């Protein structure tokens, strides 16, 4: 058994976050040191509770869940109940969580963990706005060189934005945090809309989860049937993009994805393009490269991996 990879998942569940967390908890290659919740799709009081509901759905009530930032670093919080529903996890009926929320603040957990673990051994997996990650870097700059890699869902360029014509939701909500992370010097792998819009659910793919005949399988089917309706009506597609699980799938099978090491810079001044991730794919700016920017995915294999792993829960 190869050495397990230590990760912290930072998240704003969100149905797609839920599938990503379940995939991680079902995969023995990954050692989930903790899950840190951030305000994003819905307010923090809901994202932290949803994270605990998902751990219990996975049968892992021992996972440590922490609450982090209640709002972005500079801007006001923007949420997405129109996509994820009032609870942020509409679709299945999940019981109120019994497992406790950790008392420690998520930012302190991230700092403490990175200062304790072997330098270069912990990967951060942000699935929501980057507020917790940026706050941790500002609180304790010594963690920066100790982070192995950041693999994040966020951004978009060729595909445009999903919350404005220019910006993807996670980056738009906290562009200043994204700026701190992208300028930190840490190796960043960005999983943008250019990839996730190629990982679309479908009736057949949702049925494959339901046919697992397990609570997690059924819950995922019900989550996706709720979650996909927004993108289906917006884009006229059969199915919605499964954004966040692409981050975990990249850790498990990076060969499913392809991209390029380029410069990505985020807009933090113009209201017109606030949160836009300007991806210098053709290397015309001469700006220092800072991101492995993914642009393609083998979506058939991605969904095969997803269903096989969720079937283990």
Q: Which of 24, 38, 65, 127 binds Ca ion (CB under 5 A)?
A: 127
Question: Quick one: 38 or 63, whose CB is closer to Ca ion?
Answer: 38
- Of 241-270, binders to Ca ion (CB under 5 A) are 244
Q: Report the SS3 class of residue 22.
A: helix
Scanning the chain, the segments in alpha helix (DSSP H) are: 15-25, 44-57, 81-84, 106-116, 131-139, 169-173, 175-182, 193-196, 203-210, 215-235, 245-252, 299-310
Separation of alpha carbons 14 and 35, rounded Å: 14
The candidate with the shortest Cα–Cα distance to 244, out of 223, 263, 275, is 223
Question: Quick one: 126 or 146, whose CB is closer to Ca ion?
Answer: 126
Stretch that binds ligand RIB, among 14-22, 106-114, 175-183, 264-272 (CB under 6 A): 14-22
CB of 117 to ligand RIB, least distance (A): 25
Residue 109 binding ligand RIB, by CB under 6 A: no
CB of 243 to Ca ion, least distance (A): 7
Active site annotation includes 243: yes
Stretch that binds Ca ion, among 120-128, 210-218, 282-290, 304-312 (CB under 5 A): 120-128
Radius of gyration of the chain (CA): 18
Residue 128 binding Ca ion, by CB under 5 A: yes
| 295, 259 Cβ separation under 8 angstroms | yes
What is the length of the chain?
Answer: 313
Separation of alpha carbons 180 and 285, rounded Å: 20
Question: Quick one: 47 or 184, whose CB is closer to Ca ion?
Answer: 47
Number of residues near ligand RIB (by CB under 6 A): 15
Question: Quick one: 111 or 266, whose CB is closer to ligand RIB?
Answer: 266
CB of 90 to Ca ion, least distance (A): 15
Is the CA virtual torsion 49, 50, 55, 57 positive or negative?
positive
Separation of alpha carbons 183 and 234, rounded Å: 33
Positions that interact with ligand RIB (CB under 6 A): 12, 14, 16-17, 40-41, 127-128, 153, 162, 168-170, 243-244
Catalytic (active-site) positions: 243
């Amino acid at each position: 058994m190869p050495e397990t990879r230590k990760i912290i998942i930072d998240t704003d569940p969100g149905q797609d976050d839920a599938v990503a967390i379940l995939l991680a908890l079902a995969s023995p290659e990954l050692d989930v040191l903790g899950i840190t919740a951030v305000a994003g799709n819905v307010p923090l009081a809901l994202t932290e509770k949803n994270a605990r509901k998902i751990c219990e759905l996975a049968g892992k009530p021992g996972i440590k869940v922490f609450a982090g930032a209640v709002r972005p670093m500079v801007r006001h919080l923007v949420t997405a109940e129109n996509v994820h529903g009032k609870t942020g996890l509409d679709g299945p009926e999940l019981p109120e969580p019994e497992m406790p929320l950790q008392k420690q603040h998520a930012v302190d957990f991230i700092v403490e963990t990175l200062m304790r673990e072997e330098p270069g051994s912990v990967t951060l997996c942000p699935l929501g706005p980057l507020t917790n990650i940026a706050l941790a870097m500002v609180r304790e700059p010594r963690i920066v060189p100790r982070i192995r890699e950041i693999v994040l869902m966020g951004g978009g360029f060729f595909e445009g934005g999903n919350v404005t014509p220019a910006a993807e939701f996670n980056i738009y909500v906290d562009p200043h945090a994204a700026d701190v992370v992208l300028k930190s010097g840490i190796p960043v792998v960005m999983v943008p809309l250019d990839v996730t819009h190629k990982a679309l659910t479908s009736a057949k793919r949702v049925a494959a989860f339901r046919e697992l005949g397990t609570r997690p399988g059924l819950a995922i089917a019900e989550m996706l049937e709720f979650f996909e309706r927004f993108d289906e009506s917006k884009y006229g597609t059969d199915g919605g993009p499964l954004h966040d699980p692409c981050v975990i799938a990249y850790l498990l099978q990076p060969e499913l994805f392809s991209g390029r090491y380029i410069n990505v810079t985020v807009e933090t001044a113009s209201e017109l393009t606030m949160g836009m991730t300007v991806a210098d794919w053709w290397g015309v700016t001469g700006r220092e490269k800072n991101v492995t920017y993914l642009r393609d995915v083998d979506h058939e294999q991605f969904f095969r991996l997803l269903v096989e792993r969720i079937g283990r829960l």
